[in-house]
Amino acid sequence: MPQNNSNVVGQDYIDIEYYEAVYPIRVSIYETFNPGSVIRIWAQGSDQWFQLWSGPPQIVRPVSRIFSPPLKMCYTKIKMIRLEFNHSLLDYYTELDAVLLIGTSELVFPKDQTYKCLTDLLMSTIPICNEDIHNLTANCQFAHMDIDNLKNTLHEHCVIYKSNILENFQLSKLIPQLEQFYYYVPTLKEGYNSMQQFLLKEYSKFIEDIQFSSDESKKLPCGNFSVLPIEVIQRILKYLDLKSLCYMSRVNRYFNNLAQDPLLFTSLNLKPYWNIIDKRLFEFLTPRYKYLRKLDLSWSCRFSNIEIVKFINTCGSFLTHLRLRCSRNITDIVVLEISRTCKNLKELDLGGCSVSDRGLLYLANLQFLERLDLYRNYVTTFTLCEIVRSNPRLRYLLIANIQGEVDIGNVSEELRRHCPNLESVDFWKAHVFTSRYLIELSECKNLREVNFGWCGYTTGDGESFRYFLSSCQYLEKIFLPCFRGLTDRDLKALASCKYLKQLDLVGALSLTADTCHTFFMRCPELEMIDLSYCDNISDHFIEQWRQMYPRVAIKKTKH
């Protein structure tokens, strides 16, 4: 169900926890490098996530700025925020220096009802001097002067509510509906008089309108929709997202039956709903998951491991693709249930989950994995080798930034022996990298993508590197940022990869301009090359190549 994605898809996030909980007024993001990728700001309070701000990615000048978008009113204290990113409009990586959270210890409202919250009041005091109205950098030394001024006149412009007064309100659902007007709720006498006026003057007309609407609905219970062939209806409903199907099921019994068709739920992306997925949603959706094949629960955090185990046991037998990336409460017991129930699994993403080496060993019970992502998990050499032996169809193995001491040489040997269709390996930040790894991987003739970036320690000569490139003729993407031990002669062998599309050579200190030029001439499919921090490649050559080879995106940061 890819239509579940919003117009702007979150690609990444960071969580930031502060020492003291406050009612948020402002979040200032110090974007020092390639700003514009923040699309949402979330706050966690009372075990729930609230959206404080959302907006599209921006195209702004590549200069440092303080980004402080207007926040929605938050009625609970928070000390954890989440920044969500979309990098689609960026030319290069973004970089943050700090994230400042400004708030109050007590809930504060403007006295003037024309302002919904303190953010609106503060914005009315800031003169708009440029198009980027949320950028405070132009006056960075006075960035928060509006807040300082408000502190001096707080009692004149605002109403402060003590925590003990708010306790009863925060237990109800009234505040989010009334927003800042809840403290203007009329007295009991005023409410009684208003109800009397309604009963005397408006009630009869209200009943007539209801009866008229009811009569009309009896004539056409489903309009002309019910006369359509069921195949046409199913085709239409496949374009609806999950929220729309839920709304549809509440119209009447006929629409409810249509919205529960299991064929509408063969592929489900719940990542956009990460902040609301809980036990109730699982219970609501379980009857609809008879034919579920693909499920994405990435970033989810509000269900327990017992609840996800129960869900997988009920609905996971036909799953072929399961993504649980950065989902909390994905523990050993969950992986055990996956290994028992999801026997047809082809893709499994456990990147950033809290699974131990013992839990990951359960994956050796699976036999049909084609893609496995264990990013930032703790895993040993033995466990990885067992998984590889059991899954000969493996084509994509991502073990970037793994926490255990893994002998990549042994893993590469098992990949060579058991996975003839291997297309992609990600060994980013492997602790040790030797020539043996390259020799073993040289037998994987179908490799399309390799990531050897930021390896802690590299040994061996360039001959094994050149042999690897000559053996793997179908390589399309090669990532070698800060890969040490290669000479300019070794790097020149990259030009033999005639299908090369993407090349990352960040920090290649030995690379010369002559060798780099051969990549443009001998790699006709080249689309992107990163030459940042290559000391021997001057800006003069970069500009010259950009004019000569406009088809290639040449990256070289000036940071």
* CA–CA distance, 77 with 105 (Å, rounded to integer): 8
Q: Mean pLDDT, to the nearest integer, of 405-419?
A: 94
Quickly count: other Cβ atoms within 10 Å of residue 71's Cβ.
20
Q: Mean pLDDT, to the nearest integer, of 432-452?
A: 92
> Look-up: residue for tokens 């402002």?
26
Question: Element (H or E) spanning 310, and its range?
Answer: helix 305-315
Quickly count: other Cβ atoms within 10 Å of residue 100's Cβ.
14
To the question of pTM greater than 0.75 for the whole model, the response is yes
Q: Is the pLDDT of residue 56 over 70?
A: yes
For the stretch 481-527, pLDDT in tens is 998 888 999 999 999 999 999 999 999 999 999 999 999 999 999 99
- Of residues 278 and 337, more confidence is placed in 337
Quickly count: other Cβ atoms within 10 Å of residue 70's Cβ.
15
What's the pLDDT score for residue 199? 56
Point out the least confidently predicted range of 118-132, 324-338, 362-376: 118-132
* CA–CA distance, 71 with 54 (Å, rounded to integer): 9
What are the start-end ranges of the E strands in 297-377? Answer: 321-323, 347-349, 371-373
Across the chain, mean pLDDT equals 86
* CA–CA distance, 189 with 184 (Å, rounded to integer): 14
Residues 6 or more apart from 299 whose CB is under 8 A from it? 10, 13, 271, 274, 325, 326, 327
Q: Is the pLDDT of residue 203 over 80?
A: no
Q: Mean pLDDT, to the nearest integer, of 36-40?
A: 96
Point out the least confidently predicted range of 132-141, 328-337, 394-403: 132-141
For the stretch 147-195, pLDDT in tens is 888 888 888 888 888 765 555 555 555 555 554 444 444 544 455 556 6
What's the pLDDT score for residue 280? 82
DSSP category for residue 404? S
What's the pLDDT score for residue 338? 98
% pLDDT > 90, the chain: 56
What's the pLDDT score for residue 138? 60
Q: Is the pLDDT of residue 331 over 60?
A: yes
In 3D space, the residue among 119, 99, 117 whose CA is nearest the CA of residue 109 turns out to be 117
> Look-up: residue for tokens 């992306």?
269
> Look-up: residue for tokens 């030394």?
141
- Of residues 1 and 114, more confidence is placed in 114
What's the pLDDT score for residue 210? 52
- Of residues 137 and 415, more confidence is placed in 415
Q: Is the pLDDT of residue 318 over 90?
A: yes
Q: Is the pLDDT of residue 216 over 70?
A: no
What's the pLDDT score for residue 431? 80
Rounded to 10°, the helix 513-522/539-548 angle is 10
In 3D space, the residue among 175, 72, 57 whose CA is nearest the CA of residue 119 turns out to be 72
What's the pLDDT score for residue 145? 80
Are 490 and 515 spatial neighbours (Cβ–Cβ below 8 Å)?
no
Q: Is the pLDDT of residue 478 over 80?
A: yes
Which band of pLDDT confidence, cut at 50, 70 and 90, is reported for residue 362?
very high
Are 110 and 157 spatial neighbours (Cβ–Cβ below 8 Å)?
yes
Point out the least confidently predicted range of 53-67, 190-204, 224-238, 503-517: 190-204
* CA–CA distance, 324 with 321 (Å, rounded to integer): 10
**Count of all residues that appear for the chain in the document:** 559
Token couple for 275: 């902040």
What are the start-end ranges of the E strands in 374-430? Answer: 396-398, 424-426
Q: Is the pLDDT of residue 372 over 60?
A: yes
Question: Element (H or E) spanning 12, and its range?
Answer: strand 12-33
Which band of pLDDT confidence, cut at 50, 70 and 90, is reported for residue 558?
low
For the stretch 234-278, pLDDT in tens is 888 888 888 888 888 888 888 888 888 888 899 999 999 898 888
Structural domains of the chain sorted by starting position, each given as residue range(s) with its CATH number in brackets? 12-171 (2.60.120), 407-558 (3.80.10.10)
Q: Is the pLDDT of residue 441 over 50?
A: yes
Give start and end residues of each alpha helix (H) in 6-161: 118-123, 145-152, 154-157
Q: Mean pLDDT, to the nearest integer, of 42-53?
A: 90
Residues 6 or more apart from 19 whose CB is under 8 A from it? 79
What's the pLDDT score for residue 140? 66
For the stretch 275-309, pLDDT in tens is 888 888 888 778 888 899 999 999 998 888 999 99
What's the pLDDT score for residue 148? 82
Are 422 and 371 spatial neighbours (Cβ–Cβ below 8 Å)?
no
Q: How many CA atoms lie within 13 A of 439 on its CB side?
A: 11
Q: Mean pLDDT, to the nearest integer, of 86-102?
A: 94
DSSP category for residue 89? T
